[in-house]
Amino acid sequence: MGADVRLDTMPAELLGKSHTELREWMASLGEPAYRGAQVYHAIYAERRFAFAAMTNLPAALRERLEREAAITLPRIARKYHSADGSVRYLLPLEAAPAEGTGRGAPAERSATVEAVFMPSEGRQTICISTQAGCAVDCKFCLTATLGLVRNLTAGEIVGQVLVALEDNRERLAPRTNVVLMGQGEPLLNYDATMAAVRILLDPNAVGLAARHVTLSTSGIIPGIERLAREKIRPKLAVSLNASNDAERDAIMPINRKYPIAALLEACRKYPLRPWERLTFEYVLLGGVNDSAEAARRAARLLAGMRAKVNLIPWNPGELPYRSPAAEAVEEFRRILAQKDVPVFVRYSRGQDIFAACGQLAVIETGMEARA
Ligand code: SF4
């Protein structure tokens, strides 16, 4: 009962609400629904986060919103500037109940995520998280050591983009790319992730092009199949990282549930738009998955698919893997290219500010990486 009373008096959180939800919410206040559409545009398209700044609303409504609603952007706790111009944000969110699932999960489940802003010629790329921690347990990923802390809300997901854009307002390039490649498996937080993506892709909201927003999955087949049925969806990238099941089982235990053959079958059925290719990411771990034979197997797996491969040489760090030799990277690339698989070598940005996925959150929470 007491909790109900408190909920009733809490301001309504507007960040993350869709166009329809904001219209309905405004109507529920007894205000015209189109005022909800105006707030939607103000938050996501104009990045006005104070009701006082929404001067197209009547003064009395602005005052009412101050009392009855909130727009809570993720708070920036720390910023790390890289020599290459990237900025990594550490964003503490509301903590989760103490019931985590991960290895060595602490009693206190602080939910801290990261977003990274990466400027380059004519555009910026913003990498965001969809979960605090992650349950998928990829062996090369520091986020995995946290276990799943909790799913983010749609507002917390879209809020990371808004925070990064706002904080770099003075130097924004015309184009913005967003990659859902930070902490978490987006397809295991499907509804909130897609609610955020719809806001990112709505021309009346953040207004990004679908070709500039990429969702990266470890290969959750039911999620891929669900995404395939969406009218509005981002591009899809699949984190492959191995060329046979034994190799993939060892570094991505999720492969036991969704093995390579089934995963690639789902990928082959995925309905690509005319301009679209699937992306396969392949983190090259020295001596683990970077042999010429692995490259030949990967080329066979991907033969005939409308796909490209991003090879990502491993950054040495806290986990017990080593970088691939430069010659191994080149040989891997050459073998795929020779088999007509489009292939690119990508080096992760901001290496001097802990670029490996999840590294900052792990350092901040004082947890030790797996030995
Ligand atoms: S690589 Fe991605 S899916 Fe795998 S454990 Fe890390 S955050 Fe989760």
Task: For residue range 311-333, list pLDDT tens digits in order.
Answer: 999 887 778 899 999 999 999 99
Q: Which of 80, 107, 100, 105 is nearest to 91 (CA)?
A: 80
Q: What is the chain's alpha carbon radius of gyration, rounded to the nearest angstrom?
A: 21
Active-site hit among 114, 156, 247, 281 = 114
Instruction: From 101, 134, 151, 348, give the residue whose CB has the most ligand 1 atoms within 8 Å, as the site to mutate.
Output: 134
Output the pLDDT for position 370: 32
Can you tell me which residue has the tokens 């009547």?
58
Output the pLDDT for position 354: 52
How far is residue 190's CA from residue 72's CA, in Å, rounded to a whole number? 22
Output the pLDDT for position 1: 37
340 CA to centre of ligand 1 in angstroms: 29
Instruction: From 138, 140, 181, 252, give the residue whose CB has the most ligand 1 atoms within 8 Å, as the site to mutate.
Output: 138
Output the pLDDT for position 133: 93
Q: Which of 192, 170, 165, 141 is nearest to 16 (CA)?
A: 192
Biggest distance spanned by C-alpha atoms of the chain:
69
Q: Is the CB of 218 under 6 A from ligand 1?
A: yes
Is residue 138 part of the annotated active site? The answer reads: no
Q: Is the CB of 361 under 6 A from ligand 1?
A: no
280 membership: H or E segment, kind and range = strand 278-284
How far is residue 337's CA from residue 333's CA, in Å, rounded to a whole number? 6
How far is residue 134's CA from residue 157's CA, in Å, rounded to a whole number? 15
Name the residue type at position 353: I
Nearest atom, ligand 1, residue 182 CA: 7
CB contact at 8 A, 286 and 248? no
Number of C-beta neighbours around residue 271 at 10 A: 9
Output the pLDDT for position 108: 65
Low-confidence ranges of the chain (pLDDT < 50): 1-7, 355, 366-371
Residue 198 DSSP SS3: helix
137 CA to centre of ligand 1 in angstroms: 6
Is residue 357 part of the annotated active site? The answer reads: yes
**Phi and psi based region of residue 12 (left: phi greater than 0; alpha: psi -120 to 50; beta: remaining):** beta
How far is residue 103's CA from residue 111's CA, in Å, rounded to a whole number? 16
Triad 78, 73, 362: Cα angle to 5°: 35
Instruction: Pick the residue whose CA is nearest to atom 4 on ligand 1.
Output: 138
How far is residue 61's CA from residue 67's CA, in Å, rounded to a whole number? 10
Q: Is the CB of 141 under 6 A from ligand 1?
A: yes
Distances (CA, A) of 112 to 122, 218, 232: 30, 21, 29
Instruction: From 218, 224, 251, give the residue whose CB has the most ligand 1 atoms within 8 Å, as the site to mutate.
Output: 218
Output the pLDDT for position 2: 40
User: Alpha-carbon torsion 237, 220, 157, 97, what sign?
Assistant: negative
Contacts (Cβ under 8 Å, ≥6 apart) of 286: 314, 321, 322, 323, 324, 325, 328
**Pairing state of beta strands 307-313 and 278-284?**
parallel
- Beta strands in 76-169, from DSSP E residues, in sequence order: 78-81, 87-96, 109-120, 123-127, 131-133, 148-151
Can you tell me which residue has the tokens 């349950």?
135
How far is residue 314's CA from residue 282's CA, in Å, rounded to a whole number? 10
141 CA to centre of ligand 1 in angstroms: 6
Name the residue type at position 198: R
24 membership: H or E segment, kind and range = helix 19-28
240 CA to centre of ligand 1 in angstroms: 12
Output the pLDDT for position 326: 96
Output the pLDDT for position 98: 66
Q: Is the CB of 185 under 6 A from ligand 1?
A: yes
187 CA to centre of ligand 1 in angstroms: 11
185 CA to centre of ligand 1 in angstroms: 6
Q: Is the CB of 71 under 6 A from ligand 1?
A: no
Output the pLDDT for position 347: 79
